[in-house]
Structure 1
Amino acid sequence: MRRLVPTLALALVLALPLGACGLKPMYAGGTGGAIAQGLSAIDVSEMPGRAGWLMHSALVDKLGSGQRTGPARYRLDVRLDDKLEGLGLLSDDTVTRERRTLRARYQLVDLATGAIVLDETVGLDAGIDVVSSEYATIAAENTALENLAKEVADRIVTRIALKLRTLDEAAR
């Protein structure tokens, strides 16, 4: 018991500066918060192909654009580059390993002014084992594309949220 009191006092003293560290929750206020409202006010432009469909769906889900009640304030334009290339070769020129790369160049456009608020590129890749079953290889390629689209969409939304927070703080 004698050791517990000094330990608790030390923990309390060390915890006091944390309140003044400047950290602010990104999504304070839940769906009614400034960042969540800003994200839901983004229209996502259509993208061609299977990768485009997957990316568009992931972005709309993560941004919450489907639950928007008012008009859009921003438009998100995304150009995708999806590549699938063979890496490992056997002596008979058979591919044993593939790499799927998904890169996205995106621009966040303010619809009121036409100004580009954010212009960046993000990309990821995934390794795929080529096995004797063609079906299994195609399934692995498709799964890799689905996972890459979700992860790239996550990174895009995180970066947009950070930019919206910066804009919100500058407006105050």
Structure 2
Amino acid sequence: MKRLAAPLIALALIAPLGACGFSPLYAERNGSTVTNDLMQLDVSAPNDELGREIKYSLLDLLSPTGNPPADALYRVEVAPVLYSEDVAIERDAEVTRKNVALLVPFRLVKTDTKETLLRSTSRARSSYNRVVSEYANIVAADAARERIAKAAANDIKLQLSIYFDRLSKSGS
């Protein structure tokens, strides 16, 4: 009897969740999907190493080919700012750990009207150890920068997905 009670209790607790209004973010609605909307995006970023890293990470996430459409309906403009801070400092003033933070203000612009549809910010943080080898420090700093650029790109994609999902639910 006890073996039968546990599944019945679990079923009774789960049953009300069907009416809670939950729907998958990337599900098809009204003949369209968030994925299709994301594929209509181009990305504009500064022409420096960090800007390119974010731009191409974001394009890889938005489109299966990693290329923007020729006639993009929307453009995402990003303006990344990178900060670093010394965290662990020895008595001889040698830094043994660094934090790297990335702040990426971005906006979604409709390409034909130049209207700003969404304005938001993405943040990412990483850290790395500094060692005696300067080469190892450069590689570790580059790897940390890559990690936070990809994390920011993922966050931007998520924010854009939520925007397009809400737009499709509102019927606009």
Aligned counterpart, 1:42: 41
1:122 paired with 2:122, answer yes
Give the distance between the partners of 2:130 and 2:68, measured in 1 at CA: 43
Residues 106-163 of structure 1: per-residue CA shift (max 9 Å, x gap): 0001123321111111222222211001111111100000100010111111111111
The SS at the match of 1:86 is: strand
Instruction: Report the AA paired with residue 105 of structure 2.
Output: R
Shift, 1:70, TM fit: 7.2
Residues 100 and 145, structure 1, Cα contact 8 Å, conserved in 2? yes
Tell me the TM-score normalized by structure 1: 0.87
Residues 108 and 119, structure 1, Cα contact 8 Å, conserved in 2? yes
Aligned counterpart, 2:134: 134
Give the distance between the partners of 1:52 and 1:70, measured in 2 at CA: 21
1:154 paired with 2:158, answer no
Residues 27 and 33, structure 1, Cα contact 8 Å, conserved in 2? no
- CA gap 1:16/1:85 in 2 versus in 1, 3 angstroms: closer
Aligned counterpart, 1:16: 15
Residues 17-36 of structure 1: per-residue CA shift (max 9 Å, x gap): 1210110000114xx85200
Instruction: Report the AA paired with residue 57 of structure 1.
Output: Y
Residues 57-78 of structure 1: per-residue CA shift (max 9 Å, x gap): 1100111173676731110000
Give the distance between the partners of 2:167 and 2:46, measured in 1 at CA: 27
The RMSD of aligned alpha carbons is 2.2
Instruction: Report the AA paired with residue 89 of structure 2.
Output: L
Residues 103 and 124, structure 1, Cα contact 8 Å, conserved in 2? yes
Give the distance between the partners of 1:83 and 1:21, measured in 2 at CA: 42
Aligned length: 169
Counterpart mapping for 1:43-122 below 5 A = 43-64=42-63, 66=66, 71-122=71-122
More helix by share: 1
Give the distance between the partners of 1:7 and 1:89, measured in 2 at CA: 55
Tell me the TM-score normalized by structure 2: 0.87
- CA gap 1:95/1:71 in 2 versus in 1, 3 angstroms: same
Give the distance between the partners of 1:170 and 1:68, measured in 2 at CA: 26
Point out where structure 2 has 5 or more consecutive residues left out of the alignment: none
Point out where structure 1 has 5 or more consecutive residues left out of the alignment: none
Instruction: Report the AA paired with residue 37 of structure 2.
Output: G
Residues 85 and 98, structure 1, Cα contact 8 Å, conserved in 2? yes
Aligned counterpart, 1:28: 27
Give the distance between the partners of 1:121 and 1:69, measured in 2 at CA: 24
